């Protein structure tokens, strides 16, 4: 059966982006013309994922408002790229207990269906927007996997920021995962293949989550749950981002500024003026 359900966890507090996130979700910060989370929703929609559950938290109501119909705007010429055939659902994660815990809230929504997970503060850009998730869903089925995870290659100094794969054998564009290590030190890292914020799961992941103890920080990590899945005899595969695909992880101001600049510079209407302005500013510096 085709996968049509997706989960977007958006309950994080965004403390590394204070004070910008004091009264609004970081997922609603704009990059270019749109809030971060809208790019994520458009990516899901283009991959055929039309039933979307947001796992929210406190101060996240503006996300719900953004994806609601706004009749007061009237005929203002405001255009939206949000497809009309999407169905949105919301559930609140009361306590910040990790990504694995956030995903566990979706069990009733998912039922017996496979589903996608896309982090609400990470944008995948390049190629056509649906290519990564579409590839992942195809390989998930053809490889008979229980979990399929997107990976990107990072610098040795950055492995401590991500969940890292230990592949079985030499990893190609698609590979089987032997184990996953959450934020290893560079000298302990089995590879430089970092999880890139996109997942496909079978419902068995919920059983794995129930069998997985919390990590050192008291949070239920999805990397630990996938290791449990492997120990249960299930297959986890990785799909690499292509060279023309890039993940923007909006975790702090450095990555946020870079993302905003990239999207602004590529804007079809204003990009040229932004480039001219940047040349002037860089000359002054």
What Cα–Cα distance (Å) separates residue 89 from each residue in 80, 168, 254?
19, 37, 32
The domains of the chain are located at: 5-251
Give the lowest-confidence range in 3-7, 130-134, 158-162: 130-134
Residue 81 has a pLDDT of: 65
Q: 234 versus 216: which is more confidently predicted? A: 234
Quick: pLDDT tens for 88-115.
999 999 888 899 999 999 999 999 999 9
Helix axes 204-211, 222-231, angle to 10 degrees: 100
Residue 253 has a pLDDT of: 94
Second CATH level (architecture) for the domain 5-251: Alpha-Beta Complex (3.90)
Residue 129 clears pLDDT 70, i.e. is over it: no
Give the lowest-confidence range in 83-87, 219-223, 241-245: 83-87
- DSSP-derived letter for residue 19 is T
């Amino acid at each position: 059966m085709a996968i049509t359900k997706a989960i977007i966890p958006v309950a994080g507090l965004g403390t590394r982006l204070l004070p910008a996130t004091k009264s609004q979700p970081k997922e609603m910060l704009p990059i270019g013309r749109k809030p971060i989370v809208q790019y994520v929703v458009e990516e899901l929609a283009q991959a055929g994922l039309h039933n979307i559950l947001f796992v929210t938290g406190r101060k996240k109501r503006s996300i719900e408002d953004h994806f609601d119909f706004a009749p007061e705007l009237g005929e203002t010429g405001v255009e939206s790229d949000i497809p009309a055939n999407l169905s949105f659902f919301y559930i609140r994660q009361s306590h910040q207990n990790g990504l694995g815990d956030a995903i566990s809230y979706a069990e009733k929504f998912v039922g017996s269906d496979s589903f996608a997970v896309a982090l609400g503060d990470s944008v995948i850009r390049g190629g056509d927007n649906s290519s990564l998730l579409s590839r992942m869903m195809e390989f998930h089925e053809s490889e008979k996997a229980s979990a399929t995870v997107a990976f990107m290659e990072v610098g040795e100094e950055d492995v401590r920021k991500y969940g890292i794969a230990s592949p079985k054998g030499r990893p190609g564009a698609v590979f089987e995962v032997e184990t996953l290590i959450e934020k290893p030190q560079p000298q302990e890292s089995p590879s430089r293949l970092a999880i890139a914020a996109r997942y496909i799961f079978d419902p068995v992941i919920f059983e794995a989550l129930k069998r997985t103890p919390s990590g050192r920080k008291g949070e239920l990590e999805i990397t630990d749950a996938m290791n449990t899945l492997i120990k249960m005899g299930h297959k986890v595969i990785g799909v690499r981002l292509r060279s023309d695909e890039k993940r923007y992880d909006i975790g702090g101001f450095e990555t946020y500024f870079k993302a905003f600049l990239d999207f602004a510079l590529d804007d079809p209407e204003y990009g040229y003026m932004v480039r001219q302005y940047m040349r002037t500013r860089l000359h002054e510096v």
